[in-house]
Structure 1
Amino acid sequence: MKLKALLLATALVCGAPAVASAQETTTSVNVGVASSYQFRGVNQNIDDTGQVFGGVDLSAGSFYVGTWLSNVDFGSKANLEVDLYAGYKPQVGPVTLDIGVLAYTYPQESSLLVYEGKVAGTVATESGVSLTGSVFYSPEYGKNGPSYWYYEAAVSAPIPGAKVGPFALSASASVGSLNAETNTVLPDYTNWKVGLTAATEGGWAVDLFYTDTDVDNNNLYEGKGVVQLKRTF
């Protein structure tokens, strides 16, 4: 798979600057729990028993690599998701680009493996409003599955003067669309999400959001409200 080679190449490129230059390497760790695991509007836990997740990110200048883990339940052997990703975030005028690759792996069921390439751009204003547009492409959804494109637009903004104790409030919204080569395995659909985040300067955050899709008569794609507690340090 061509994207597999691209993932390895990007990881090597991302590691090179940290070794070859004097740039400081920064590490960030995150852990959290949520009432449900929703990804692009799709339920990743059919029993809705909740989610426990965590990840580690390393960055050196504009380069980054990371991993993220979560429990899943698709009604199959898979009960763990392990994501691997790497990329480069150059600044081009007011736009911060994010060019990278991702791998969604499932150790108990390797046939679910998915690779994606990513290109995104973010513009942030002095007031804290952030606008992001992203495009993802995968040559194969799982083993012998269809190729697909996923497009997403997102906005986030602080709520001026809104604070609950040490928690500052911000709002966010996004809309995404998936277009697959064939609808036999993966349906074309549109999803949307609106949320409210309460975060402290010490790295604690509580997220409340609602997400839904335009897919009918499928409980994996039905609308759901989620509460999430996350700690980053």
Structure 2
Amino acid sequence: MKLKALLLATALVCGAPAVASAQETTTSVNIGVASSYQFRGVTQAFDESLDAQPQVFGGVDLSAGSFYVGTWLSNVDFGTEANLEVDLYAGYKPQVGPVTLDIGVLAYTYPQESNLLVYEAKLAGTVASESGVSLTGSIFYSPEYGKDGPSYWYYEAAVSAPIPGAKVGPFALSANASVGTMDLEENLLLDSYTNWKVGLTAATESGWAVDLFYTDTDVDGLKPFEGKGVVQLKRTF
């Protein structure tokens, strides 16, 4: 299964630029900082006391028509040798009636610790209204969580909506929320958990955005799974 996922990821990553060469391409660059790096409700950078540490991140995306490829980097700290995360992803976003699909693959890599490498396949669908409200449902699958780890499914539902007439200077306000469930197979320590997030985004037309959100899980007794309030500043070019 891991080999099949790798071959699929390679095909998409190699094939999308070929399509891009025949169509007009768009490049987007993003950089940002956050008070904590939270991924699916779990802290990804913490100190020896398991307290959350600040995050610095950035990425580049290339799109052509319905195809896209990209990479994203962030500091991490799991108490191991890994201190850098490099994500690679590619996919296809066709329009089917009112639904925008997202069919893609992702690779979460850690140069200092290759045993943490994770591949995922993704299928998502988004419906957006004329008022700007959007609903997204996503399913992710990985055949192996790190080297010799269990396979898993991750399911997520998300909603975002602009707040009519709400502005702070050049910043337009919107609200967002999501809930997700991680289902790990054949794992005796933690077979599944649910996380949720609620937040507020303030964004400008020039690409600045400030995110304020709170995220938590239903896992008790494990500090990286505890609820966190996060402030994030991001700039997209």
TM-score, scaled relative to structure 2 = 0.96
* Equivalent position SS for 1:78: coil
Which 5+ residue runs of structure 2 have no aligned equivalent?
none
> Which amino acid in structure 2 is aligned with residue 10 of structure 1?
L
Q: Percent identity?
A: 80
Shift of 1:132: 0.2
CA contact (8 A) 2:176 2:200 kept: yes
Once the two structures are superposed, residues 134-163 of structure 1 have per-residue CA deviations (whole angstroms, 9 ceiling, x without a partner) of: 000000000000000000000000000000
**Aligned pair 1:31/2:35, yes or no?**
no
Q: Distance in 2 between matches of 1:41 and 1:11?
A: 28
Once the two structures are superposed, residues 77-101 of structure 1 have per-residue CA deviations (whole angstroms, 9 ceiling, x without a partner) of: 0000000000000000000000000
For residue 158 of structure 1, what is the aligned residue in structure 2? 162
Once the two structures are superposed, residues 81-126 of structure 1 have per-residue CA deviations (whole angstroms, 9 ceiling, x without a partner) of: 0000000000000000000000000000000000000000000000
For residue 41 of structure 1, what is the aligned residue in structure 2? 41
Once the two structures are superposed, residues 158-189 of structure 1 have per-residue CA deviations (whole angstroms, 9 ceiling, x without a partner) of: 00000000000000000000111123355410
For residue 198 of structure 1, what is the aligned residue in structure 2? 202
Number of matched pairs? 231
Q: Distance in 2 between matches of 1:143 and 1:46?
A: 22
Pairing 1:130-209 to 2, within 5 Å after superposition: 130-184=134-188, 186-209=190-213
**Aligned pair 1:11/2:13, yes or no?**
yes
Which 5+ residue runs of structure 1 have no aligned equivalent?
none
Q: Distance in 1 between matches of 2:166 and 2:122?
A: 34
- CA RMSD in angstroms comes to 0.8
TM-score, scaled relative to structure 1 = 0.98
CA contact (8 A) 1:121 1:134 kept: yes
CA contact (8 A) 1:193 1:209 kept: yes
For residue 122 of structure 2, what is the aligned residue in structure 1? 118
**Aligned pair 1:68/2:78, yes or no?**
no
CA contact (8 A) 2:37 2:53 kept: no
Structure 1 residues 31 and 158: alpha-carbon distance in aligned structure 2, compared to 1, 3 A threshold: same
Instruction: Find runs of 4+ consecutive structure 1 residues off by over 4 angstroms.
Output: none
Shift of 1:205: 0.2
Shift of 1:43: 0.4
CA contact (8 A) 1:198 1:207 kept: yes
CA contact (8 A) 2:185 2:191 kept: no
Q: Could you tell me which of 98, 108, 111 is aligned with 1:107?
A: 111
**Aligned pair 1:210/2:231, yes or no?**
no
